[in-house]
């Protein structure tokens, strides 16, 4: 059977790092198995859904290289949900409820006060047809709930969490349709998963109780409307936390816009999130084929996955050091050629830092404070400078022989005079880029003090 997964964001905001991880893992699960990855825009909430958020979701996924094989929008599938609702209503699996939000909250408090689970008491099921008709005649418009069967436990083997079991009597019959006729998450999601042939639902562990409810919903829908379909397999991965604990308050600032502003490479985000929360080491792996080859739900842990921005920066720097000139040429300041990129690349944490390091080549530089001995040494360096294939090697060799200096005293004053810094790119690569004329001028200027 072909694997079909889906990522189903609601376009009521921008994607954050938690959403991205879910999308990535669903894409990886599909692609490792030669399957299909769907993007399903869950936009049934007409009041809060926005077209610009939909465009941003598409753009962010494209930037990350998470390319869906197809896209669906729930707002274009309302007739499907109506048909499923009618079938469930005919089968006695949904029922109207007339309580106001205030009445429901009062019922919840009463149950809590009695030491009972704060679930819906199914009071609407006790209403007679005459009582329902009277409520509607008085202007009360019902919302609708799915009726859970209480005769046996709800159980499934979760792809991450293992054997799961819920007592349906401890769960509320979920509201599936509001009084205004709009849909809540539960029913459209189940209808779409069956109608689109989704085989695997991989999502966060905060959906575990939703899955328990939806399993009965899937069973009812298959019996009433989709006899040729099978229920998908379920897996729930641990949620992300930060170094100091809960991450949710900061998720909004950890989206693709923030990553782009910090010049984080998409490959770094993918490398980190692909293995975050698994037993596999997080490594600076740019080749997605390698990540796909090692992707396995059996490696996913139950403990919260720690998202560490310092670790992301470390992965980013390591991947920048792997980037070929062709990968970054259109992002570099004018003048940086392949030799220049190769020289400065090891000192970069972000590609955007290249311009600052390139200043060491094109100048101007700030001459450091040097001792009288070092100034005399640099005057000798300017005199001995000869240009050839390896000018740095030739210069340091000549100076070592002429002055007896070695190690730090040999190399550091030269680096400081030529770049204005005590550290930086390999001078063997950098000096040819500076050029003979500019190098001599800098050595003479440093000698003068």
Tens digit of pLDDT at every position of the chain (449 positions):
799 999 999 999 999 999 999 999 999 999 999 999 999 999 999 889 999 999 999 999 999 999 999 999 999 999 999 999 999 999 999 999 999 999 999 999 999 999 999 999 999 999 999 999 999 999 999 999 999 999 999 999 999 999 999 999 999 999 999 999 999 999 999 999 999 999 999 999 999 999 999 999 999 999 999 999 999 999 999 998 877 666 654 555 688 999 999 999 999 999 999 999 999 999 999 999 999 999 999 999 999 999 999 999 999 999 999 999 999 999 999 999 999 999 999 999 999 999 999 999 999 999 889 999 999 999 999 999 999 999 999 999 999 999 999 999 999 999 999 999 999 999 999 999 999 999 999 999 999 98
Residue 367: the pLDDT is: 87
Residue 252: the pLDDT is: 54
Residue 251: the pLDDT is: 53
Q: Judge whether 108 and 138 are in contact, CB under 8 Å.
A: no
Residue 248: the pLDDT is: 52
Residue 85: the pLDDT is: 98
Residue 104: the pLDDT is: 95
Q: Is domain 362-448 classified as CATH 3.30.230.70?
A: no
At the second CATH level, the architecture of 241-320 is Orthogonal Bundle (1.10)
Domain spans of the chain, in order of start: 241-320, 362-448
For the full predicted model, state whether its pTM sits above 0.85: yes
Residue 246: the pLDDT is: 64
Residue 244: the pLDDT is: 67
CA 324 to chain centre: 24
Residue 118: the pLDDT is: 94
Tell me whether residue 31 is annotated as binding: no
Rounded Cα distance between 161 and 105, Å, is: 32
CA-nearest of 176, 205, 179, 181 to 191 is: 176
Residue 93: the pLDDT is: 97
Q: Judge whether 6 and 37 are in contact, CB under 8 Å.
A: yes
């Amino acid at each position: 059977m072909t694997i079909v997964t889906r990522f189903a964001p609601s376009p009521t905001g921008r994607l954050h790092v938690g959403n991205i991880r879910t999308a990535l893992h669903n894409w990886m699960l599909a692609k490792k198995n030669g399957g299909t990855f769907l993007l399903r825009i869950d936009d049934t909430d007409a009041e809060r859904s926005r077209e610009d958020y939909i465009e941003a979701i598409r753009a962010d996924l494209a930037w990350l290289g998470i390319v869906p094989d197809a896209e669906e929008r729930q707002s274009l599938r309302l007739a499907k949900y109506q048909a499923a609702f009618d079938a469930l209503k005919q089968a006695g699996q949904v029922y109207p409820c007339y309580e106001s939000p205030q009445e429901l909250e009062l019922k919840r408090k009463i149950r809590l006060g009695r030491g009972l689970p704060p679930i819906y008491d199914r009071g609407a099921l006790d209403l007679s047809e005459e009582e329902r008709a009277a409520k509607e005649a008085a202007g009360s418009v019902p919302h609708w709930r799915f009726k859970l069967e209480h005769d046996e436990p709800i159980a499934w083997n979760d792809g991450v969490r293992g054997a799961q079991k819920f007592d349906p009597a401890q769960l509320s019959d979920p509201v599936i349709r509001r009084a205004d006729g709009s849909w809540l998450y539960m029913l459209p999601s189940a209808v779409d998963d069956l109608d689109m042939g989704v085989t695997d639902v991989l999502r966060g562990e905060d959906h575990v109780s939703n899955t328990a409810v939806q399993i009965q919903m899937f069973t009812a829908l298959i019996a009433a409307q989709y006899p040729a379909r099978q229920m998908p397999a379920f897996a729930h991965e641990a949620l992300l936390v930060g170094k100091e604990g809960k991450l949710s308050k900061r998720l909004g600032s950890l989206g693709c816009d923030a990553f782009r502003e910090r010049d984080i490479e998409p490959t770094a985000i993918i490398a980190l999130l692909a293995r975050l929360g698994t037993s596999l080491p997080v490594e600076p792996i740019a080749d997605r084929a390698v990540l796909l080859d090692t992707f396995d739900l059996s490696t996913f842990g139950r403990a919260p996955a720690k998202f560490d921005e310092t670790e992301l920066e470390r992965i980013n720097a390591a991947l920048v050091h792997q980037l070929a000139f062709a990968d970054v040429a259109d992002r570099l300041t004018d003048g940086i050629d392949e030799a220049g990129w190769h020289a400065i690349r090891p000192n970069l944490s972000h590609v955007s830092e290249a311009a600052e390091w390139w200043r060491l080549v094109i100048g101007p530089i700030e001459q450091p404070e040097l001792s009288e001995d070092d100034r005399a040494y640099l005057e000798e360096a300017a005199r001995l400078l000869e240009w050839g294939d390896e000018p740095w090697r030739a210069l340091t060799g000549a100076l070592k022989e002429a002055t007896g200096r070695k190690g730090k005293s040999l190399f550091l004053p030269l680096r400081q005079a030529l770049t204005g810094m005590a550290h930086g790119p390999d001078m063997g690569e950098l000096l040819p880029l500076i050029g003979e004329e500019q190098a001599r001028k800098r050595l003479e200027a440093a000698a003068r003090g």
